[in-house]
Amino acid sequence: MSKDKFLEKIAFNAINYIKNEEEIRLKKTPWDFEIIDEKEEFIELKVFNGRANIYFLVFNQNKDNEDISKLNTSGIKNFRNLKGSVNLSFFKEYEKYKQIFYNFIEKYKTSGQIIFTGHGYGATISLIASAFYNMESIVFSPLPFIVQKSWMENYSINPIIYVDESDPFSGNDSKFGQIVWKNSNHYNVIKINSNKYSHDIKNFKNLF
């Protein structure tokens, strides 16, 4: 967790901007921000204070409940150079967008700190990308894509993961080959229980 949850506040605000068109606000800080690029799948957000730059890739794909359920299969993807394994369907989804993450790194790697972020499906793809590219990530309500917990050893910088235990997509206890986020005690997961039983970034609003 970052000091005063500053980075998490930025990530939350940026995701909320995409999903709910609410203004990004950085109150009572010396930091300013600029949306450098905005596409259907992502925005590039620069946060700066004259001495340091932080670049957020805010990945977003709108998936409805039916789409998410179809992705949650029992196929497994193992890797030669990474520990653990992940859900095959989610890995295939990552493959569709991996160039976006690579291009972002190449664009800003010498300019400042880089962070991947997203909610739900976007969180899942961001977490997979941050393992492959060894980048920081701050995510909310990732879908349960990890099959073996040793996958988390692929992160040299532990991702910051927020999970709402009442989110219907935080995991299915009866699903084979799936590590359930809401039951996880070994990933440094930050849990809340909004009691809203919805898959919504707004469930985390009271934290920030």
Give me the count of residues in the chain.
208
208 confidence band (pLDDT: 50, 70, 90): confident
147 confidence band (pLDDT: 50, 70, 90): confident
Closest CA to 114 of 130, 128, 131: 130
Please compute the mean of the pLDDT values over residues 180-197 and round it to a whole number.
Answer: 79
Read out DSSP for 109-178?
Answer: TTTSEEEEEEETHHHHHHHHHHHHHT-EEEEES----BSSGGGGGG-SS--EEEEETT-TTS--TTSTT-
- Tell me the C-alpha to C-alpha distance, in Å, between residue 104 and each of 45, 57, 135, 138, 206: 11, 7, 11, 16, 30
Residue 113, domain extent: 3-207
Stronger pLDDT, 176 or 190, i.e. the higher one: 190
Give the CA angle between residues 171, 173, 179 to the nearest 5°. 60
The conformational region for residue 195 under phi > 0 = left, psi -120 to 50 = alpha, else beta, is left
- Res 24: pLDDT: 87
Give the total number of structural domains in the chain. 1
- pLDDT tens readout for residues 81-96: 999 999 999 999 999 9
Task: Enter the DSSP assignment of 23.
Answer: P
Residue whose token pair is 């179809």: 70
* pLDDT, averaged across the chain: 88
| pTM summary value | 0.92
172 confidence band (pLDDT: 50, 70, 90): low
Please compute the mean of the pLDDT values over residues 43-66 and round it to a whole number.
Answer: 91
- pLDDT tens readout for residues 151-160: 999 999 999 9
- pLDDT tens readout for residues 116-127: 999 999 999 999
Report how far residue 21's alpha carbon sits from residue 23's, in angstroms, rounded to the nearest whole number: 7
CATH number at residue 139: 3.40.50.1820
Report how far residue 190's alpha carbon sits from residue 185's, in angstroms, rounded to the nearest whole number: 9
